[in-house]
């Protein structure tokens, strides 16, 4: 038996020596590859205000997630490379090794079938927005659900589905791009729109006539935001999770929330 074990061990060692170099490289964790490369590749869309915003005039990126990923690269001691990405091909970008991590997205079971997700770093949810002119009349979710209220949402989005579920008595009007729900509210063609608290913070800063119904404590359809990453790499996933835990304990993410997600 000892001779058999020795023979098997010898054959395994020989197989490792004969293994092509690319195969050996592929067995390295993503963390090791990033540290050797000296660059962290981050996929981001640049169209998710205030999380990832691209200034086309200067070709620069800003936002909550952009700052966080820049901090991650800094803490790793590597450079950062932002790779242009689209929501529709987010998963494909990770699977095809276009980037090491995506800058942040809501966790969904559909995506989780193909990519891994880090631990959550913030939670987002759905909130109603109204004009301050009608805000005194609509002060709660329940006040929206009546036949005299029109709720404008973008056609084909998750918010269209949510509006129909939350406000069965109201008139839910699905509109097509380039129109938006908040523009319908500002123009007086609708009394309410619903969106994520993330977008709502930016909209209220940009359009002072908009206000949230209730507070962030009243938001519904609460969901975690996390970092999509390649599946099957526990070393890289554990490293990012440890980084999130440390930054959360230090108050780093709370600071980003106050900077980017506050309505003030």
Res 262: pLDDT:
77
The pLDDT of residue 14 is 44
The answer for residues whose C-beta is within 8 angstroms of residue 239's C-beta and 6 or more apart is 31
What local confidence, expressed as pLDDT, does residue 75 receive? Answer: 98
pLDDT, residue 244, reads 98
pLDDT at position 264? 61
* Topology, domain 30-121+227-260: D-Maltodextrin-Binding Protein; domain 2 (3.40.190)
Q: Do 30-121+227-260 and 125-222 come out as alike in CATH topology?
A: yes
53 - beta bridge partners?
A: 47, 62
Write down the pLDDT at residue 263: 65
- Tell me, what's the pLDDT at 163? 95
Q: Look at residue 211 in the predicted model and tell me its pLDDT.
A: 93
**What integer pLDDT is reported at residue 145 of this predicted model?**
96
Residues facing residue 122 across a β-bridge: 225
CATH 3.40.190.10 fits 125-222, yes or no: yes
Tokens standing for residue 29: 């964790």
pLDDT recorded at residue 24: 40
pLDDT at 67: 98
How confident is the model at residue 214, as a pLDDT? Answer: 85
What are the sequence ranges of the domains in the chain?
A: 30-121+227-260, 125-222
Task: Give the largest Cα separation in the chain, rounded.
Answer: 87
- The per-residue pLDDT for 26 is 58
Q: How many CB atoms lie within 10 A of CB 255?
A: 12
Residue 64 CA, chain-centre distance (Å), reads: 10
Q: For the chain, what is the HEC assignment?
A: CHHHHHHHHHHHHHHHHHCCHHHHHHCCCHHHHHHHHCEEEEEECCEECCCEEEECCCCEEECHHHHHHHHHHHHHCCEEEEEECCHHHHHHHHHCCCCCEECCEECCHHHHCCCEECCCCEEEEEEEEEECCCCCCCCCHHHHCCCCCEEEEECCCHHHHHHHHHCCCCEEEEECCCCCHHHHHHCCCCCEEEEEHHHHHHHHHHCCCEEECCCHHHCEEEEEEECEECCCCHHHHHHHHHHHHHHHHHCHHHHHHHHHCCCC
Is the pTM value of this prediction over 0.75?
no
Give residues with Cβ within 8 angstroms of 147, minimum separation 6.
Answer: 169, 170, 171
* Whole-angstrom distance, CA of residue 206 vs CA of residue 220: 23
Q: How far is 85 from 65, CA to CA, in rounded Å?
A: 14
* Closest among 212, 237, 218 to 227, alpha carbons compared: 237
pLDDT tens over the chain, length 264 residues: 444 334 334 434 444 444 444 444 457 899 999 999 999 999 999 988 899 999 988 999 999 999 999 999 999 999 999 999 988 888 999 999 999 999 999 888 888 999 999 999 998 899 999 999 877 789 999 999 999 999 999 888 889 999 999 999 999 999 998 889 999 999 999 999 999 888 898 899 899 999 999 877 788 999 899 999 999 999 999 999 999 999 999 999 999 998 998 766
């Amino acid at each position: 038996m000892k001779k058999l074990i020795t023979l098997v061990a010898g054959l395994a060692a020989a197989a490792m020596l004969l293994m092509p170099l690319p195969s050996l490289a592929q067995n390295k964790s993503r963390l090791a590859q990033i540290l050797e490369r000296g660059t962290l590749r981050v996929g981001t869309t640049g169209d998710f205000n205030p999380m990832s915003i691209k200034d086309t005039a200067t070709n620069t990126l800003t936002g909550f997630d952009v700052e966080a990923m820049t901090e991650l690269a800094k803490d790793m001691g590597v450079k950062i490379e932002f790779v242009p990405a689209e929501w529709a091909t987010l998963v494909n970008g990770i699977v095809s090794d276009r980037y090491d991590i995506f800058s942040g997205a809501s966790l969904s079971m559909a995506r989780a079938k193909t990519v891994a997700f880090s631990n959550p770093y913030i939670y987002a949810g759905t909130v109603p927005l109204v004009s301050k002119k009608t805000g005194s009349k609509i002060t709660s979710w329940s006040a929206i659900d009546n036949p005299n209220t029109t709720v404008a949402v973008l056609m084909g989005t998750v918010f269209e589905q949510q509006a129909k579920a939350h406000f069965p008595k109201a008139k839910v009007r699905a509109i097509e791009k380039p129109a938006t729900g908040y523009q319908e509210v500002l123009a007086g063609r609708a009394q309410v729109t619903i969106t994520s608290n993330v977008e709502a913070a930016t909209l209220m800063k940009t359009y002072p006539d908009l206000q949230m119904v209730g507070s962030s404590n009243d938001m519904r359809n609460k969901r975690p935001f996390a970092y999509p990453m390649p599946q099957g790499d526990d070393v890289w996933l554990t490293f990012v999770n440890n980084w999130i835990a440390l930054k959360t304990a230090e108050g780093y993410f709370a600071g980003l929330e106050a900077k980017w997600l506050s309505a003030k």
